[in-house]
Structure formats: C-alpha cells, structure tokens
Amino acid sequence: SGNVPFGTITSLHESPLRFGQLAVGTDDGLIEISRDGGNTWNALTSPIPQNTKRNELLWVSEVLWSHHHEQRLYVALNGYRLDHFDSWIFMTENDGRTWTRLGGNDLPCEPVNALAESASREGTLFAGTDGGAYVSFNDGSNWSAIHPDLPAVPVHDLVIQERENELVIGTHGRSIWVLELDAMWKHWDASELWSDAIPAAFVLSEIETIEFDEQWGERGWSWSEPRDVTADVDAFSPEPITAHWVITNDSTETTWIGDTIQLFRGWQSLSIPLKLQTSPEVEFIQPGSYIVSLYTDSATPLATSSLLIGTKDD
C-alpha cells in the first residue's frame, strides 16, 4: 500500500545488553526509548531541531543500541524527502540530553539509511547510504568506503552475521552483497580496541599460493579475449594514493608489472597481474618464489608481500 506519511515507526531495536530496553524512531522525527519492555516510553530531544509547524520533519532511518555500552544509542536521520542530503549520524549516552555527530566531515552528502555495529570489535561501525556503504574503526570519528567492488547504489539494510563474521548488505536494485570481515581485522590482536589499533601505515595481507597453469592466457572461445590472470590481496591505505606493482625474483631481478593503480582510503581488494608483457607475445610469471612490492614515487616500497607460484606436482 506504500508509505503512510507521519506517525509510522521506521526503526525498532532492543538493546543486546539489557532485556526490555527498546528504542523506536518514526518517519516524523520522533525518537523514544523504553526500559520496561514498552510499558512506558520517554521521548528524546531530536539531534537536529525539527520544523513541526511546516511539517518539515526528518525521517528516523535507524535507531541502534550499542553492543558495548548500555546507555549508548546511535541514531541516523534521513532528509531526502525535504531535499536535505546531509549524512546525519548521531550518538547519545545520556538519553538525548546531548548528542554527538559522527563523521560529518568524512561521509559524503548522502542520506543515511542503515547502521550496524560489530559485537566483536568495539568501535567498528557500518553505515549504508543512498550512495553506498562505509566503515569506521573509531566510533564514527572517521569513515572510509567499505569496498571498491560494491556499486554506487542505495544501501537500505546492514546486518552482521557474527558466526561467519560477514556483513550482509541489502541494496536497492543491485541484490544482496556479503562482505567477509576477517580481512579487515586479522592484522590486530583480538584484545585490542579498534580505536587504539587503526593502522597508521599501509597494510598488505599475505597472498595465497597460486597454481601455475600452462593454459594461462588461452582464449576460451576463438572470438573471446584471453582471461586475465591475477593474484588477489587485501590492503589498507590510510589515504588515497597512486601506485604500481613491482615483482622481484630469487635473483633479485625486479620487473614493473601491470598499470598504475588508484587506491582509496580504507580496506580494499587489489589484483596483482601475473602477466609480464602484452607484446609481441604474452609472458606469464613462472613457478617460483617472489617478493611483490607496491611503490609510489618513492624509492622505498610502500609495502611488500611474498608470492609463491606452484605447480600441480607441488
């Protein structure tokens, strides 16, 4: 039947730390909490003044109690119906008497539709907007794009599957995406807080062993292009950079491989081309042990990782 304007509950959440502690948000800007299972309710002051006289009221797109602090409540407001496209995410720890805005300078001007918080990693938040999904490792102070493969599409829901440590992303028109979170936090000790462990330098994960195939570069069909052969690696960049790959063999011979690549700030998946040249004929990296380095304009590599190309007999 479509949306019923005003007076509709748009978000409901129960605290994972306290039974019966509820929060609701509505499409006319109301935020209310209950600590007795819904028998009584208290209205919170809105993080942003609402224009009730003109019915210019912001949609409360998400209310979310924290997994780590009983009194902490996250709230996302959405103003797309009023042509307000700011990314409004707020936090309160005193029942709305004061609010803190999260990530106002890092998030683009995209209405926020969904929030999620990691139960296993304190300080890790996820936000879904009309333009994609974003992650913060320090309680929302800083944000970065979540993954380059996720299209620029409205994200309407975020759920963390804690057992598999996966983030399930529900989009508008581009299906459901699942992101494995292990790559984001396998570089830190489990006892560390994300707020104390944000990498200050570039991080490059280990590369899984690649099995060499004599059919690399062959066409699947006579009219098709040869398939690219790559090794995949996860990386964290503290800032946007331009870089290129260099591979070093056992004889310390170095070769520039692939084209210049662009990296954004945050975690991302990178592909290392295993093709050395494109003309006059294609030559692929042969079985053996290598060091793969990522360089910018500096003579010192930004990061390195080991690459092992084996054979079927290994």
Strands 210-211 and 241-248: unpaired
Tokens coding 297: 């304009």
Render pLDDT for 71-111 as a digit per residue (tens, 0 to 9): 999 999 998 888 788 889 999 999 999 999 997 667 888 89
Q: Decide: 290 and 249 in contact? Cβ < 8 Å.
A: yes
In 3D space, the residue among 225, 277, 267, 218 whose CA is nearest the CA of residue 247 turns out to be: 277
What pLDDT is stored for residue 189 in this prediction? 43
Higher pLDDT, residue 28 or 198: 28
Q: Decide: 48 and 58 in contact? Cβ < 8 Å.
A: yes
Confidence band of 32 (pLDDT split at 50, 70, 90): very high
Domain boundaries, the chain: 9-196, 203-310
Q: Tokens 């029942």 belong to which residue? A: 95
What would the mean pLDDT of 115-141 be, rounded to a whole number? 91
Render pLDDT for 178-232 as a digit per residue (tens, 0 to 9): 988 876 666 544 444 433 445 567 888 888 888 888 777 777 777 777 777 888 8
What pLDDT is stored for residue 200 in this prediction? 65
> What is the spatial distance between Cα 285 and Cα 109, in angstroms, rounded to a whole number?
44
What pLDDT is stored for residue 36 in this prediction? 95
What would the mean pLDDT of 274-294 be, rounded to a whole number? 78
Sheet arrangement for strand 125-129: 112-117, 125-129, 132-136, 144-145
What would the mean pLDDT of 283-311 be, rounded to a whole number? 88
CATH number corresponding to 9-196: 2.130.10.10
The pTM assigned to this predicted structure is 0.62
> Which residue type is seen at 14?
E
Q: Specify the CATH number for 203-310; select among 3.40.50.1970, 3.20.20.105, 3.40.50.150, 2.60.40.2550.
A: 2.60.40.2550
- Which residues are 254's β-sheet partners? 248
> What is the spatial distance between Cα 146 and Cα 161, in angstroms, rounded to a whole number?
17
> Which residue type is seen at 42?
N
What percent of the chain is modeled with pLDDT above 70? 86
Mean per-residue pLDDT of the chain: 84
Max mean pLDDT among 43-57, 124-138, 197-211, 234-248 falls in 124-138
Sheet arrangement for strand 176-180: 155-161, 166-171, 176-180
Residue 19 has pLDDT above 90, yes or no: yes
